[in-house]
Structure formats: C-alpha cells, structure tokens
A and B are shown apart, each in its own frame.
Chain A
Amino acid sequence: MDHPILIVGAGQAGWQVAESLRQEGYSGPLLLIGEEAFIPYNRPPLSKKWMIDRPDPASLAIRGPDALRRRQIDLQLNTRVVAIDARAREVVLADGARLPYAGLALCTGVRLRELPVPGAQLRGVFGLRTIHDAQQIGDYLDRCAARNDRVVVIGGGFIGLEVAATATKRGLKVTVLEGLGRLMSRVVAPIVSEAAARVHADHGVELVFNAQITEISGVDAEVRAVRTADGIEYPAGCVIVGIGVHPEDRLAAAAGLDCDRGIIVDGFSRTSDPHIVAAGDCTARRRPDGSLLRLESVHNAIEQGKSAASALLGREREFTATPWFWSDQYDMKLQMVGLSHGYDQVITRGDVDKPAFSAFYYRQGRLIAVDSLSRIQDHMAARKLLDNKLSPTVEQAADVNFELPSLLRG
C-alpha cells in the first residue's frame, strides 16, 4: 500500500485506532493528525487536580513520544483538516495541502456548546476541553483566590461538578447554576443526584437549580457576575461553562457521509463511506433496533477505536462491551456502567447517607445499569454481570452481604 492510513483527530480514539492498527499487524504508513499542540493525552485529569498544579502536559500523554516512534506512528500536530475529498480519497489541510489516503479514520471528538447569552465572550468565561483551557482556568482560579472572588460554574453535569469540587478543594467559594431541577439529571437517578448534591453542599458549594442564565456581565471586558432570569446576580471572578457538547461531524457531513448529531457508524465503526471509519465522541452508533446511540467516554473511544482499526483492515470486530463512565468529585468516586435510560425500578445497595452506595436500575425485571458512589466493588461486579447479561434479583442487589460475583460462577 503506497498511501498511508490517515487518522484525523489525535485524542483518545485517534490514538487507539493507531495503536490497534499496529497490534493487528498493519505495517504500512500511518499518520495521526491533531489540531492541538500536544501528543495524544488523557483529558479526564484536566477538570481535577491537574488544573490546580498544572504540571508538565507530558504527564498527561496516553503514550510518550518514544512509544509512538517505537510503533512507527507519525504525528502531525497543530494541523487543521478543512475538508475531505471522499471521491479522490484525500484530505485537505488548512494550508491547502492535499494528503491522499488508503483508509481514513475520523476521530474528531466534540466542540463545546456555547452559552447563548450576552457576555459569554468576556475574559474569564471558559469552557473546558483542552490542556490550554485547563491552564487558563487554573490561572484564573489562582487570581480568584488572591482577590477573594467567587467562582461560578454553569451546568451541574460531570464536568461542571468536577470543576466545582476542584475549585472548592483549592479553597475557593463556588456557586453551581444548574438549568434543571437536579444534578447530572441526564444520566443518573434522582437518588444519586441528591446524594451528590449533599456532598457538594457539605463542602460549602452553593447549588442553584432551575437557573435560567440571562446575562454575564463584566467590567473592562472581564467577567464580574452572572445574572439569572429571576434577577439575581451571582458575583464571579471566573465562570466555567459546562453545558454539554456537539459532536464534531462537520467535516464528515460536508464530505457527504451520513450524519445525525454525530457521524453515523455501525457496530463495527464503519461510516457510510467504505474507506472511512469513525470512532469516539464524534460518532452516533446505529444499534440493531435502528436507534442512534451517542456516548462521550474514554471507554467508548477505546472500544470504537479498536473496531475502527479492524474495519480499516477489512475485519469485523463488533463493539459489544457494556459502556462505563466515571467521575471524581472530592473523595467521591462516581462510576457508572450500562445505560439506565428507560428504567422502571431503582434498587439501592449500601449506605445512601454516607454516601457509599450503588443504584441498580431495572427495566421489566432485568438489570440494565448500575451507578456506584464510592462502591467500586459493586461497579466492577456490575460490569461483569452486564457483560454476561446476568441480572441479580432485586433482593440480591439490595443485600450488601450478598456476593454479586457469585452469580458469575453460577
């Protein structure tokens, strides 16, 4: 093969496609193209302690430069792909260069949803996706500490709450403005939201629900406050907006690939173009029942990356593992496995008040998902149970003395 396999997007999924291609025996040229200045890196630490200490970004690398050289994976950073010519099988770079490909993997990730209110562009208002974002937010948190300014987080989802916990641990006073009636409402049951809310309140975080943001105001183009529809002003030396993302499917859509809020792929990470695969946050996976599934997670990026590499080599490796996710807030480890959407029963296991418990989600009597707060033994057992399509009875789930792994030996 003369032309290389190109991977557009040097994040978790892009790295995995490259790694898996080599593991599967592909020995031809392989080029990973990234917009940022950094070798593929782990994003989850950005919202946590990393933001405070801001050590060398090399400490975040998924693999070091030597590892890429050892695998003969070429890396072209600071490079924007502006178009895909699917008919000619070329990608077009911002400088006009055209790179031909034998196979193409799109791992373009997401872009942040922006807050559509006046003042969202003021200095001191940030979204969080990249090392650069985390460095800037960290600098502003230092300033807030020096000036005794409050921090306002807009959005009570994973990212917002992780930043709230990090800023609190940094010694700052934090307000979280959530648009809906409870935290992480898109993903977890009310009992989990309530437990998380208690943990944040116990750490001194001010939680405001059903907050409709109308304006961010500033002085000299720098943020000073966030105003809500009820007329309340929340003073802020720094604002972090975490209100979700858009899958980055514009390149694919412009090239004529099927997209619907994400690049549509099948269970083997194949797109509607036979020479193009896609993996990670940018995808929408068509399930056997025809519905589309969007997942934003490290695990999804890795598993889709593996199947995308196989697909580029003409092999079929279906993604069947149960999705899992995690979030760290203070000392609370929130781990989720499965998709709880459509549950009709929730069983709790453990100490809800502490909190150290798991929520077992059932639909029509079968286990579909488990959220665990500082109960990693439940989470690990649940991953295996769900992977093996095993369902404990509700009595077994509720009984902390019942050994869930015993069902696997059954």
Chain B
Amino acid sequence: MPQVVFIEPDGRRVAVQAKDGQSAMRAAVDQGVAGIEAECGGQCLCATCHCYVAGPWQEKLPPPSADEQVMLENVVAPRLPGSRLSCQIVLNPSLDGLTLTVPPRQS
C-alpha cells in the first residue's frame, strides 16, 4: 500500500493511500486531487494528468515510453526534468512516499 503525496496547485498536500499496481493518476482521481484532469481515462492520449516528480524519485521510476515522451512535449504547463504523466506511473511498495506536484494548468 504505497502512499503518494500530491501537492495541489494551491500548495495543499494530499496524502493518498494507493493500491499496488494502480497508476498514480488513478490514485489521484479516486481522491479527487485537484488539477489532475485525466480526460482520456489513462490511455496516454491527452496529457491532462501531467505532474512533476520530486527530485530523488525521478530515477526510481522507469523512463517514459516513446508515446509518453511525445505527450510530454505537448503538456500545457512548462515541461521540467521531473515531468511525467501520472497515468503512466505504476505504483508499487518501493514508491512509498512518492511526491508529485500538480501543475496549475492541464488544458
């Protein structure tokens, strides 16, 4: 049961208990984390679940697929080194404590 911390656009921290195998996007929308829109429902098609992975966590995640790379080139908020689509982050116990910052705009 990894815990993920989302920092919402207004700075509020929301800690979410996720299930193993769930995507970070799914964990966010189940709790209604502000700013995660997820229009396509997790198909890597819309780039509206963009988030920034906090520094030390970046290298613990598998690198983005070619499709995710293309989508990251098209996010509305600035693309930063920690930019990922939360629908493509699959949670597991080693990611307990993962911190994701939600950008102010998705679309």
A interface residues (Cβ-Cβ under 8 A, vs B): 42, 44-45, 58-64, 66-68, 70-71, 298-299, 302, 326, 328, 333, 335, 376-377, 380, 383-384, 405
Contacts and interface: CB of A to CB of B under 8 A. Distances in A.
B43 A326 contact: yes
Contacts of B67: 333, 376
Interface string B29-46: 111100000111111010
A67 B8 CA distance: 14
Interface of B: 26, 29-32, 38-43, 45, 47, 67, 70-71, 73-74
A377 B29 contact: no
Given A66-B30, A68-B32, A71-B32, A335 B45 contact: yes
B31 A67 contact: yes
A405 B32 CA distance: 33
A67 B70 contact: no
A63 B37 CA distance: 10
A59 B26 contact: yes
8 contacts: A58-B30, A64-B29, A64-B32, A66-B30, A67-B29, A68-B32, A326-B45, A380-B71
A340 to B, nearest CB: 19
Given A376-B67, A376-B71, A44 B31 contact: no
Contacts of A376: 45, 67, 70-71
Nearest to B27: A64
A333 B31 CA distance: 30
Contacts of B40: 44, 298, 326
B41 A42 contact: yes
Nearest to A384: B74
A298 B39 contact: yes
Contacts of A302: 39
A40 B83 CA distance: 28
Contacts of B39: 298-299, 302
A59 B18 CA distance: 12
Contacts of B42: 42
B41 A45 contact: yes
Nearest to B37: A302
Contact of A44 (B38, B41, B73): B41
Given A376-B70, A377-B70, A380-B73, A67 B41 contact: no
Contact of A328 (B30, B43, B71, B73): B43
Contacts of A63: 29-30, 32
A296 to B, nearest CB: 15
Nearest to A375: B70
A347 to B, nearest CB: 21
Nearest to A405: B73
A299 B39 CA distance: 8
A66 B43 contact: no
Contacts of B41: 42, 44-45, 60, 62, 298
Contact of B30 (A42, A67, A71, A326): A67
A61 B22 CA distance: 13
A303 to B, nearest CB: 9
A70 B32 contact: yes
B69 to A, nearest CB: 9
Nearest to A45: B41
A376 B85 CA distance: 15
Contacts of B26: 59
A321 to B, nearest CB: 9
A377 B67 CA distance: 8
Nearest to A302: B39
A67 B43 contact: no
Nearest to A328: B43
Contacts of A326: 40, 43, 45
Contact of A61 (B30, B70, B73): B30
Contacts of A66: 30-32
A381 to B, nearest CB: 8
Nearest to A301: B39
Nearest to B33: A67
A311 to B, nearest CB: 19
Leading 8 A-B pairs by shortest Cβ distance? A67-B32, A64-B30, A42-B41, A380-B74, A70-B32, A377-B70, A376-B70, A63-B29
A38 B6 CA distance: 26
A59 B70 CA distance: 26
Given A44-B40, A63-B30, 19 more contacts: A42-B41, A44-B41, A62-B38, A62-B41, A64-B32, A66-B30, A66-B31, A67-B31, A68-B32, A71-B32, A328-B43, A333-B45, A333-B67, A335-B45, A376-B67, A376-B70, A380-B47, A380-B70, A405-B73
